[in-house]
Chain A
């Protein structure tokens, strides 16, 4: 121990920090020491406390002490979820090594890296490489890639909480196992913010028994002020999804009184809208206000990030694109518009202001509809109780596994037996059976079930040397284009007719526009000229009115933790406590709900029946979050349609769901308890999942990741048109001809594991069976049901005869689109 305390490396770093007027935090010192003692581990620290320098400097100190242990080439590999992070991190690290007088080179490699730089890196890797999980897999798909990694000493996974819980996490787990294969003595370090399941997070990243594993927690706590911005009167709050543009007058003074403000919105569409609204309200903000989201041109984004850092910008409207990242020192205020749907995310965003360790973070919450005020109230309570959500790791993702197998086959090839052992040691595939493994091998070599029908399929072949390889250049090329686990909507590039790239837009949105019509992107009003080669050509428009694009992605479901608090707060809202400012404000609305229908108390469950010209509506409010409601609503539709064949359109949000039918819904006080009964719950759930579109929707991502659907690349001429098909089509084909296809099965399992949360659903039904069920017939939409009518995600479920259904639609004066 004392050896390390007295080491040259440590004193060099201590001196360097002292010159800058800093001293290391205890957790940094601890990390350095443990690293020197050969540990791997996980560092738990909020952003803004120097977590980067904990692991990074650990490697530097170790190098300074024992440079002979480190041959030339790659020493530290830094994997982070966001590309935008890498650039700033590299800058900070380069400054540090320069100051210390180390001749290390720190470089970034990701999708934005120019080809020339990449070629240079392949000839000589830098000492530190900052990259993403996807780029790691791309590197594994290169010939002779092991030579780059065999001397590497440490891999750091930054913002691990952002990767855990999705398939990019599985990509990371696999990448680590591959790196350990190349460099068996590799030390693995994860860096994470506080989440509900830290122990699990650690064992997912570090499942390997031969590693010495430790955990280091930063004790520092951030002080946080949450301030709700309330409108003058409750009526001015427009309903769900519609922006509370009238709140602009409340936001402008906040911007004026702070140095730099980040304004977070939940979707890119909302960001575009708020940017316009703010500029219209105060035109002299032009040049001082910027917009930042994932669909905006990289150069513009970089410019904006630089200008936040230099304090030149007064405010930036952004999305989760600025959730993570290095310190923007001037930012002293955050405004959150609309609900964040999760406690951890809210804390993360709040933490973007007052970034340095001893400042307070300040976050203003601007609701876009009234019920969101209940959410803030719930958030405050949850933060007070120190409740953080868990991120559940994904397991047995066959799609990611077959992609990884092909990646290795494209690269250096793999030995089946050895790889199976290695894959089984990865957390996600602990329970992979030998049958599953054989199926995966069969899938990539023969295509599927029978030999005869796949005669021409030679994706991966067993080579003479006993390894599995991809021989076809075209298949290699197609595969490299498809590596990754982020499946986006089909995006088109948007360019000026005269040249100049603006950003990306979803095909689904553009397909609804006609040439000559205008839309908003990156805060500019643009007129559509034409669409060519996956590129949208536009010119500047003078139009006063323009639609702002909707991006399908980016809507987040309410987490289960928050929904629990939400239920409590809503029943409180009828008689709010003296200090609960939000709930007091909401009181008129809650009273209206109570007089027109009912406000469910903690031990009640509300069902509303409403008849309008649209048809017959049934509303239920379990307050369990959107994902659970999707399953819950399909279950209700299934049970009701056993009483009478019906077609339902299903809508859900985080509070409840709606079943809408053109026919009367046979529901009454007498049969409602049976419908909500917990008897044969799981059987009915399985039946309803099979009858609904949920699995087919999950299959969309699976098909792309497993390489069944070729994604077209924005802006390219070669779009592999002859290989285009939709995941829906393939889903039906496999259902018909290969029902035991593992990828198909995975789609159903994902519905189960990710949405259903069996335990949570059981608990909900338990709760309902102990509740008093209140059935109300209302004459018009109630405050609770209205948001479901105007803004929600929809699906369909029908067990009617198709011909009969069409016949009736014809009689109902149908519309053709």
Chain B
């Protein structure tokens, strides 16, 4: 796996965007990600739709390499860590987590995170609806409730559609960075792309397996 990075500075804080769908915030030793949708493949299977679970394995391997690479002490997940009801994928995740001695998990509850508090405690996950960590507010879906503070969110699975000469079109996942907010791409590869919603004036950082491209 090839981790490509690009540093951006927001409110005097340096954030490291990676081409692996997560941001590293060095001063907090935190890896920030969104929309992991663990349990999605098992949820599909339970409803009679066969999906291989290699998808989850691949997502978790990628996450493990990111944690090791940055020596992160904290995972800050801005929502939709889990896709649906409790299922076997969650245990896989719990096992995965146990390989780290002290990797803290903080989850900003997203619309898919419907697991009970007891289960979350059992997983050793701290759950918040929103988290203020100066100078940012972490929240699942950006909201106009915080006009003064810079929000970091996920939820929309942002992508960018670029058009070139000869009627070329390309769709890539991206980070969207505007004056008052940043939106993360979905971490899981088993998700779609939404190229329709883009905050006003946002800059898109799109990425491939080997590069990050800035589109203004």
Known: A660-B167, A662-B168, A816-B162. A733 touches B190 (CB 8 A): yes
Chain B residue contacts of A806, Cβ below 8 A: 162, 170, 172, 206, 208, 211, 213
Contact code string A782-817 (vs B, CB < 8 Å = 1, else 0): 000000000000101000001101111110101111
**Is A457 a contact partner of B45 (Cβ separation < 8 A)?**
yes
Chain A residue contacts of B170, Cβ below 8 A: 805-806, 809
Q: Which of B43, B47, B50, B172 contacts A454 (CB 8 A)?
A: B50
- A303 at the binding interface (Cβ < 8 Å): no
Chain B residue contacts of A511, Cβ below 8 A: 196
Total of A-B residue pairs, C-beta within 8 Å? 135
- B52 at the binding interface (Cβ < 8 Å): yes
Known: A661-B166, A796-B168. A803 touches B51 (CB 8 A): no
Interface size on A, residues (CB 8 A): 57
- A726 at the binding interface (Cβ < 8 Å): yes
- A167 at the binding interface (Cβ < 8 Å): no
Q: Could you pull out 28 A-B pairs where Cβ atoms are within 8 angstroms?
A: A446-B50, A447-B45, A456-B42, A457-B50, A475-B47, A614-B167, A647-B166, A648-B166, A662-B165, A708-B49, A722-B43, A722-B83, A723-B43, A729-B191, A729-B192, A734-B52, A736-B54, A802-B208, A803-B208, A806-B162, A806-B206, A806-B211, A807-B213, A809-B170, A810-B213, A816-B161, A816-B162, A817-B161
**Is A808 a contact partner of B164 (Cβ separation < 8 A)?**
yes
- B163 at the binding interface (Cβ < 8 Å): yes
Chain A residue contacts of B69, Cβ below 8 A: none
Chain A residue contacts of B45, Cβ below 8 A: 447, 454, 456-457
**Is A615 a contact partner of B165 (Cβ separation < 8 A)?**
yes
- B44 at the binding interface (Cβ < 8 Å): yes
- B53 at the binding interface (Cβ < 8 Å): yes
Q: Which of B43, B46, B88, B169 contacts A796 (CB 8 A)?
A: B169
Known: A456-B88, A737-B54, A810-B213. A723 touches B47 (CB 8 A): yes
**Is A814 a contact partner of B163 (Cβ separation < 8 A)?**
yes
Chain A residue contacts of B31, Cβ below 8 A: none
Q: Which of A614, A660, A816 counts the most chain B CB atoms within 10 A?
A: A816
Chain A residue contacts of B87, Cβ below 8 A: 456
Chain B residue contacts of A647, Cβ below 8 A: 166, 168
Known: A456-B42, A802-B208. A812 touches B48 (CB 8 A): no
CB distance from A789 to the nearest CB of B (A): 10
CB distance from B79 to the nearest CB of A (A): 15
Chain B residue contacts of A726, Cβ below 8 A: 192
Contact code string A587-618 (vs B, CB < 8 Å = 1, else 0): 00000000000000000000000000011100
**Is A710 a contact partner of B160 (Cβ separation < 8 A)?**
no
Q: For residues 120 through 168 of chain A, which have their beta carbon under 8 Å from a beta carbon of chain B?
A: none
**Is B163 a contact partner of A729 (Cβ separation < 8 A)?**
no
Q: For residues 49 through 78 of chain A, which have their beta carbon under 8 Å from a beta carbon of chain B?
A: none
Contact code string A290-325 (vs B, CB < 8 Å = 1, else 0): 000000000000000000000000000000000000
- A453 at the binding interface (Cβ < 8 Å): yes
CB distance from B105 to the nearest CB of A (A): 22
Chain A residue contacts of B161, Cβ below 8 A: 816-817
- A19 at the binding interface (Cβ < 8 Å): no
Chain A residue contacts of B46, Cβ below 8 A: 456-457
